[in-house]
Amino acid sequence: MNLAPAATETEITVSEAVTFPDGIPGFESCRSWVVMAAESATPLRRLHALDGADASFLAIDPRAVLENYRCDLSASDRRRLGAGDDDALLWLAIVMMEPSGALTVNLRAPIVINPRTMTGQQVLPHNCLYPLRHVLVDAE
């Protein structure tokens, strides 16, 4: 799989349900998720839980937000995803609309999906200097 440059949308797509063995924090019972286009909110995508709770999130590839974005996966994260060194992974950072109307993105704890194993998780790096709420669009 080719990864598109940071400025354009990544070519990695998953068309079926992805298994999140631990859900994501706050939604631990949601074990099955789909990644969809977000219709009019492109280049954002929609991450939707199929079970556990009625939860939808908007997300964007963190590398499209910050060109040099890098988040190291621990050995145990890789094992959980079944990710070898050669696996191309889908990265999605959750986007939030603040009460002010600003759109922010969680660069600190990205979602990582391995399309080959159809497994995903939200990664919580131990020492992550990226912001929890990086401003994507300012408040009006």
Partner 1 sequence: MIGDGVEVRVLRVGKDGVRLGIVAPPEIRVHRREVYDQIRDANQSAVVSAGQLAQVAERLTKAK
Give contact residues for partner 1 (rule: CB under 8 A).
22, 24-27, 38-41, 44, 46, 55-58, 75-76, 79-80, 94-97, 101, 103, 106, 108-109, 122, 124, 126, 132-133, 137-138, 140
> Which residue, 25 or 70, has its beta carbon nearer to partner 1?
25
Q: Least distance in Å: CB of 120 to partner 1?
A: 14
Quote the CA–CA distance of 112 and 140 in Å, as a whole number. Answer: 31
Quote the CA–CA distance of 30 and 33 in Å, as a whole number. Answer: 7
> Which residue, 1 or 101, has its beta carbon nearer to partner 1?
101
Q: Least distance in Å: CB of 110 to partner 1?
A: 11
Q: Least distance in Å: CB of 66 to partner 1?
A: 17
Q: What is the DSSP letter of 94?
A: E
Q: Least distance in Å: CB of 70 to partner 1?
A: 19
Quote the CA–CA distance of 37 and 9 in Å, as a whole number. Answer: 11
> Which residue, 2 or 75, has its beta carbon nearer to partner 1?
75
Quote the CA–CA distance of 106 and 129 in Å, as a whole number. Answer: 12
> Which residue, 2 or 127, has its beta carbon nearer to partner 1?
127
The beta strand positions in the chain, using DSSP E, are: 18-19, 32-37, 45-49, 56-60, 90-97, 103-105, 111-114, 119-122, 134-137
